[in-house]
Structure 1
Amino acid sequence: MNAPPVVEWTEAGRPRSARWRSENGSPPPHRIVIADDRTRADDAYKLACEGTALLWRGDFHNARQLLTAMARRIDRRPRKAPPADATQAFHRHRAAQNQRARILGMLLIPLDAAYAVPLHRAPDVREACTRAYGPAEPVPAEPVPAEASGTAEASGTAAEAEDDAAPAATLVSLRELLALIGANEWRKKGVEIPALGGDRIHPHYGVFSPARGEYVDLVAEAPLPSQELAFDIGTGTGVLASVLARRGVRRVVATDQDPRALACARENTERLGVAGQVEVVEADLFPPGRAPLVVCNPPWVPAKPTSPVEHAVYDPGNRMLHGFLNGLADHLTPDGEGWLILSDLAEHLGLRPHAELLDAFTKAGLTILGRLDITPRHPRARDSSDTLHAARAAEVTSLWRLGQRGSDR
C-alpha cells in the first residue's frame, strides 16, 4: 500500500503538516482553517460548502454537535421534486449522498502518532484506528502542497490557535472517525445470524456486514446438490461459507481478494468452529478446480463505489456478476450447481433489465434449474420518505440455481 499523503497548513503563524487519511478516497484539502468551541455552525457550514476544511481544536463533544448542526443545514436545503424516472432518481440520490459526504467530511480531527485524539473529552480511538489503518507509521510521506491559510484571523470563524497546540501526526474527517468507532463496536458486538443458530458474525471495518439476513436465509434453505465440496466466491465476512459448513458441507473453499475480508473470514470461521472445514484463500473470483456447488453473492447494483465498504454493494459494469457467470461452467462438476444470490433492485431502478440477466445466463452456457425468492425485511423497504422507496418496496432477492447447459441433470 502507498503511504498516505501529507497535508500542510499554517497554525498560529507556524507551518504544520500531518498525514492525510481518507477511506473513501477523498483528496487532501487544499485549504484548512482552525476551528474551536466558538466556531458558529453557520460559518462552518459556509466554509465547508466552499471547500475549506476546518481543523478542530476544541472539545470533542462540541465537534460532534457542530457536525450534527452542519447536517441539519444540509437537510433544510430546498429539495427538487423527485423525478418520475427511477434511474434519474437513483443518480440524483447518489449525487446528493456524495455532496453531503463531501461537506460533512470537511470537519477534521487530529490524531497523534499513536492514533490518540489530543482533544478534551475525546474517546479512546486507538484500537479502532489501528484496526482500520494498520499500525501507526511515524515517518511522514512526501508533502502534498496545500494552500496555507489556517489562522483564525484568515477564517474569521475561530479564535487563534495556541502556540503549543498539540502536533498532529494524522488528520481525518470527524465523520470518518465516528464511522471507525461504530464499525469497531460492531466488530466487537457482532451481528446475530439466525441461520447460524443465533451465533454472531463479527464484521471488520471495510467488510460488508450481513445485517440484511434474507440472502443468508436463502443459502440456509436451498437444497444442497452435494455435501462434499463447495466454493464461496467473494466470501467477505465468511458468513455463507460458515452456513454451508454448518449445513454439513465437508469442505468449503472461500475466496476473496480484499485483505480485510480474508482476515475477517478467517477470524469468523475460527470463532464459529468451522475453520477445519473452511479454507480461506486469496483469489479474484474462482479457486482452481471444480466443485459440485459454487456460491456467489456479488454486489447487487451496477454503479461506481465511492468507499471500500461500497464495493460489496456497487459493481461497476456488472464486472463481478459477469465474471462469475462466465467462469461458472468451467468450475462446476458435470452435475453441479451454481447459486447466484442477487437482488432485483437494479431492475426496478432501470440499471439492469431482467432480460439482460437472462441473456447473460444463456451466453455463459448456463441453464436455470430453479429459483428461491425472498422479500426484504429491512426498515428502508417500508420507509415511504425514502427517495427510492418504490424500488425498495418492490425488491425481491433471489437464489438462482444454475447448471451447465447440456448436462445430464
Structure 2
Amino acid sequence: MNTEQTESSTQGLSQILPDGEQTAVWHSEAGFAAPTSLEYADDTMRADQALKKMRNGIGLLWRGDFQNGRQLLQALGRRLDRKTKADHGAEPIAARFHRYRMQQAQRARLLGLLLIRLESDNAIALRRAPAWEQAMLQVYGSEHPPMLVSLRELLGVVGAYEWRRKGVLIADCDFRIHPHYGVFSPSRAEYLALLMQAPLPDNYRSAVDIGTGTGVLSVLLAKRGITRIIATDSSPRAVACAQDNVDRLGLADQVTVQEVEFFPEGCADLLVCNPPWLPGKVTSSLDAAVYDPNEQMLKGFLQKARQHLKPGGQIWLIMSDLAQLLGLRAAHELTQLFRDNDLRVLAVYEAKPTHARAGDRSDPLHEARAQETTSLWCLAPIDTEN
C-alpha cells in the first residue's frame, strides 16, 4: 500500500485491501498516517501476535466477531500500560513528563492500527456489531465512501455521542452542557467555580469569551447577568457545539457565537480566556485542547486584549500551574507576561483540583498533579483605574 501523511486530521487515501476487494478510504480524526501495510485479523489472533505486527507498522483490518475485536483492543492496551508504568523511575519530573507523553503518543499510534471497515451508510458488517449509525453520522456525515478507521477511534466517537446525548451536569448549577466530538468537555469543575466566585461589577454588560469550546464560560456569564456576550473559536466543531448549547439553554439573545481565531470587532467590559494550560507541540488534533505550541494562544490573548477592552474593563484568565510544576514554564514567567503587556493583577482566585487523577498515586505525574493549583487571574491595563 502506498501511503503519505497529510496535514489535515482527516486523510483521504484510496487503499487496496489485501485480497483485492473493493477499495476503501483511510480516515483518521487524529491525523495519523495510514499504515505502511495491511493484513486481515480475526478471532484466532492473540494480543502478543497482534502487538508484534503493529510494532512493525502493520495495520490489522478486523474480520472477526466485533466484540472479540474490542476485547483484543483492551488486551493490547493493558500490555502497553504495564510497559509504561514499569519504565518510570526516579527521573526528574520534566524528563518523566516528556517520556510519558512520548509513550502515550506511541500507545495511541499502535492501538490505532486495529482497524474496522465502516460502510458508506455507517454500518459495520461484522458479527455482533452494534448499530452505531447515529453516532457515526454526527462525526463522519452521511455521504462518504467505505472507510478504514481505527476501532479505538470508533469507540471514542460513540463515547462522545453518549456525552453529547446525555450532557454533562455542571457542578453547583442547574444546567447541562452537551459536548460534541472533538470539543473538550468541561470536566474540571474547579475553574468553573472560580468564574462564579469572582466579583462582577454591576455596570458590566458585555463580554467576549475567547476559545469558547463548548460555550460553558459564556453560559455562566449569561447566568450571571451579562447581556451581550460574543463567544469565539477557530474550530468549526467548537462553534457548532457552543451554538448548540446556547440554543438548548435559550440564551441566543445574550450569546452570539462566531468562528474567529481571537477577538471579534469592537470592545467589551470583560474579556475571558481559558487557553490550553501546557506549552508543547500538538501531535494530533486531540492535543489542541491541552497543548499550546509556543504558548501562542496565551501570548496572543494577552497581547491583543487591551485593544478590545472598554475603559474600566477587566481581563479574566484561567490557568493552572501544572506547567510550572512539570518544569515546562519558569515560576515567574506568567506574571512577567502580564508586565510585558502592561497588565496588572487585580485579584487571584485559586482552587485545588478535584478530579480523580489528582489522587491517583499510580500516575507517573502524580507528584505534580497533587500540588496543582488552578487560578483565575483578574487583570486590568496598568493605566486603568479600577
CA distance in 2, matches of 1:309, 1:33: 27
Aligned match of 2:240: 263
Q: Does 1:366 align with 2:343?
A: yes
User: CA contact under 8 A between 1:9 and 1:31: conserved in structure 2?
Assistant: no
SS in 2 for 1:372: strand
Runs of 5+ in structure 1 lacking a partner?
Answer: 139-168
Runs of 5+ in structure 2 lacking a partner?
Answer: 1-7
Aligned match of 1:126: 133
Aligned match of 1:80: 87
CA distance in 1, matches of 2:76, 2:221: 46
Which of 76, 86, 101 lines up with 1:94 in the alignment? 101
CA distance in 1, matches of 2:83, 2:330: 34
CA distance in 2, matches of 1:348, 1:2: 31
Aligned match of 2:67: 61
User: CA contact under 8 A between 1:195 and 1:220: conserved in structure 2?
Assistant: no
TM-superposed CA distance for 1:252, in Å, is: 0.7
Structure 1 segment 187-266 matched on structure 2, within 5 A:
187-197=164-174, 199-225=175-201, 226-266=203-243
User: CA contact under 8 A between 2:357 and 2:363: conserved in structure 1?
Assistant: yes
Post-superposition Cα deviations, 1:207-249, rounded to whole Å, max 9, x if no partner, equal 0000111111111111113431011111100000000001111
- TM-aligned CA distance change 1:18 to 1:182, over 3 Å: same
Aligned match of 2:278: 301
SS in 1 for 2:375: strand
Amino acid at match of 1:250: T
SS in 2 for 1:180: helix
Amino acid at match of 1:6: L
Aligned match of 2:144: 137
Q: Does 1:322 align with 2:299?
A: yes
Q: Does 1:113 align with 2:120?
A: yes
CA distance in 2, matches of 1:76, 1:246: 46
Normalising by structure 2, report the TM-score. 0.94
CA distance in 2, matches of 1:17, 1:186: 33
Aligned match of 2:4: none
User: CA contact under 8 A between 1:5 and 1:28: conserved in structure 2?
Assistant: no
CA distance in 1, matches of 2:153, 2:9: 20
**CA root-mean-square deviation:** 1.6
Normalising by structure 1, report the TM-score. 0.89
How many equivalent residue pairs? 377
Q: Does 1:274 align with 2:251?
A: yes
Amino acid at match of 2:262: L
Which 4+ stretches in 1 moved above 4 angstroms?
Answer: none
CA distance in 1, matches of 2:10, 2:135: 19
- TM-aligned CA distance change 1:365 to 1:401, over 3 Å: same
CA distance in 2, matches of 1:70, 1:26: 19
SS in 2 for 1:241: helix
CA distance in 2, matches of 1:94, 1:299: 16
User: CA contact under 8 A between 1:37 and 1:58: conserved in structure 2?
Assistant: yes
Which of 39, 42, 49 lines up with 1:36 in the alignment? 42
Q: Which has the larger radius of gyration?
A: 1
Amino acid at match of 1:58: G
Identity %: 50
